[in-house]
C-alpha cells in the first residue's frame, strides 16, 4: 500500500467478491507462519528475541507472516484486485516493529520496571503511524511538519528532520541493544570460562556497544561528533568534582572482575554484613545473607576497605560448636565416638578431620570444643552446625553421658 491510496479505495477493494479468497489466503499464511515458528521452537535451544516464549510473541512470527503475505499478494495480483492483503502488509510490518522493540528492550533490560511501559508507549506510536498511513493523513502531517522551521546558527532545521533523526537514532540504539544482549547471552553461556571472566567480558562488550550505538545515533540525528569535544571536557570536569565516586565504583567493578579477588559465589564479610556474592555489576556488588536480606555494596568499598573472603584461596572453612559433659566422664573413650558421630553428618568433610579439644574446666562441667570442616560455606553454617549438635546429642545419650546444668548450693548461716 502506498501513501496515495485513500481509505475509501481500500474499503472498495475489501467489499469486492475477491475479498473472501484473500481472507482464506491470509489465514493460510498466518497458520503456515505459526506452524513454521512452532517447528523452529522445538529445535531451538533458547527462545530469545526471535522466537519468544510462545509461538506468536517473538519477532519471527510477524516477519515470516509478512513475507508470506507479500509473496501471496504478488501472485494473486495477476488474477484479481487486491485489497485485504494490501492492508495486511502494513499491519504485519507494524506488528514486527512492535515485537522487535518490545523483545529487544526486555532482553537488554530484564530487571527494569519501566521497560513494559516504554514498550507499550512505542507500540501506541507505531499503531498511530499506521492509522495515519491508512487514512491518508500521514502525507498531510509530513507537509505540515516540513513547514515548521527554526534557525539554529547558520542552518535551518525543520520539525520533520528532527523527528526523522530521533527515529533513526532509536533504530540504531535498538539494534545495538539487541546485539549487546546477544553477545552477553553467548558469553554467559560459555561454561568452560570462569564466571567472573565471563561477567567482565559481558560488561565490557555492553559498554563498548552502547558507546558505539550512542555515537551512531548522534550521527544519525544530525549532531556533529566534533561538537562532543566541548561536552567531553564538561563531562571530565563533572567527573573530577561531582561524579568521582560514581566513576570510582565503575572502575572498581572492572578491577574486581579482572583480578578475581572476589567472585560470584564467594562468602564474604563486609562492614559486619556477611553473605554470599550473587552478582557483581559495574557499580555495586550484591551480597545475600543467609536470612534472605541483600546488601548492595559499592565496588569502591570492596577495593579500599578490609573484606573477609571465606572462600578465596580454599573453599573449606572450619566451624565449631561447644558442649559440656559432667566431671568424671571418660573423655578418652568418648572422643572417638564424638568424632565418628560428627563425620557421619553429610556436609562434614573427612579431610581435614574434625578435632575435639578440652577447652575449659567450667564451673559445671568439662567444656569440649568440637571443630569440623565443610566445603560448601555458601549453603550456610547454622544448618550444618545444628545437624552436628543433633549428632552429638544422640551420641551422648547413647553413651549415657550426662550434660550438666548449673547447680548452686545456698547455705544459711
Domains in the chain: ranges and CATH = 7-147 (no CATH), 317-399 (3.30.70.100)
Query: How large is the average pLDDT for residues 299-312?
Result: 82
State the average pLDDT over residues 346-358. Answer: 89
Predicted TM-score (pTM) of this structure: 0.47
Q: Of 294, 292, 297, 226, nearest to 256 (Cα)? A: 297
Kindly give the pairing relationship between strand 355-361 and strand 366-374. antiparallel
∠ at Cα 377 (371, 383), nearest 5°?
70
300 burial type by CB count under 10 A (0-12 exposed, 13-18 middle, 19+ buried):
buried
Q: How far is 354 from 340, CA to CA, in rounded Å? A: 9
Give 260's pLDDT tier (boundaries 50, 70, 90): confident
At 199-255, the pLDDT tens digits run 767 777 777 777 777 777 666 655 555 655 555 665 666 656 656 777 777 788 778
Q: Which three cell numbers stand for residue 358?
A: 578440652
- How far from 381 is each of 124, 313, 362, 395, CA to CA, in Å? 53, 19, 26, 21
Amino acid at each position: 500500500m502506498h501513501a496515495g491510496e485513500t481509505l475509501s479505495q481500500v474499503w472498495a477493494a475489501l467489499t469486492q467478491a475477491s475479498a473472501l479468497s484473500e481472507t482464506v489466503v491470509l489465514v493460510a499464511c498466518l497458520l503456515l507462519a505459526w506452524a513454521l515458528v512452532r517447528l523452529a521452537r522445538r529445535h531451538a535451544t533458547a527462545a530469545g528475541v526471535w522466537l519468544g516464549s510462545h509461538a506468536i510473541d517473538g519477532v519471527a512470527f510477524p516477519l515470516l507472516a509478512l513475507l508470506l503475505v507479500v509473496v501471496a499478494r504478488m501472485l494473486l495480483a495477476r488474477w484479481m484486485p487486491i485489497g485485504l492483503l494490501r492492508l495486511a502488509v502494513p499491519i504485519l510490518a507494524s506488528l514486527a516493529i512492535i515485537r522487535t522493540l518490545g523483545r529487544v528492550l526486555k532482553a537488554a533490560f530484564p530487571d527494569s520496571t519501566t521497560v513494559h511501559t516504554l514498550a507499550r508507549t512505542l507500540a501506541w506510536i507505531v499503531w498511530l503511524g499506521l492509522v495515519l498511513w491508512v487514512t491518508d493523513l500521514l502525507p498531510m502531517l509530513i507537509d505540515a511538519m516540513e513547514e515548521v522551521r527554526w534557525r539554529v546558527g547558520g542552518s535551518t532545521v525543520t520539525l520533520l528532520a528532527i523527528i526523522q533523526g530521533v527515529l533513526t537514532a532509536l533504530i540504531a540504539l535498538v539494534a545495538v541493544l539487541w546485539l549487546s544482549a546477544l553477545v552477553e547471552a553467548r558469553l554467559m553461556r560459555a561454561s568452560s570460562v570462569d564466571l567472573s571472566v565471563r561477567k567482565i567480558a559481558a560488561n565490557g562488550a555492553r559498554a563498548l556497544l552502547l558507546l558505539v550505538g550512542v555515537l551512531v545515533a548522534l550521527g544519525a540525528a544530525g549532531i556533529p561528533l566534533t561538537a562532543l569535544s566541548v561536552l567531553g571536557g564538561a563531562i571530565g570536569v563533572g567527573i573530577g568534582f561531582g561524579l568521582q565516586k560514581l566513576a570510582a565504583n565503575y572502575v572498581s567493578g572492572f578491577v574486581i572482575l579482572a583480578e578475581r579477588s572476589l567472585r560470584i559465589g564467594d562468602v564474604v564479610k563486609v562492614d559486619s554484613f556477611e553473605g554470599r556474592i550473587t552478582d557483581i555489576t559495574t557499580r555495586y556488588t550484591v551480597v545475600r545473607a543467609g536470612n534472605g536480606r541483600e546488601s548492595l555494596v559499592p565496588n569502591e568499598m570492596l577495593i579500599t576497605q578490609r573484606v573477609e573472603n571465606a572462600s578465596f584461596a580454599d573453599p573449606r572453612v572450619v566451624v565449631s560448636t561447644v558442649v559440656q559433659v559432667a566431671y568424671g566422664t571418660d573423655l578418652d573413650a568418648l572422643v572417638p565416638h564424638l568424632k565418628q558421630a560428627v563425620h557421619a553428618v553429610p556436609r562434614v568433610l573427612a579431610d581435614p578431620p574434625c578435632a575435639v579439644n578440652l577447652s575449659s574446666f567450667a564451673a559445671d562441667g568439662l567444656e569440649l570444643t568440637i571443630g569440623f570442616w565443610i566445603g560448601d560455606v555458601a549453603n550456610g553454617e547454622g544448618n550444618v552446625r545444628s545437624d552436628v549438635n543433633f549428632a552429638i546429642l544422640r551420641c551422648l545419650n547413647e553413651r549415657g553421658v550426662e550434660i550438666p546444668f548449673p547447680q548452686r548450693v545456698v547455705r544459711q548461716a
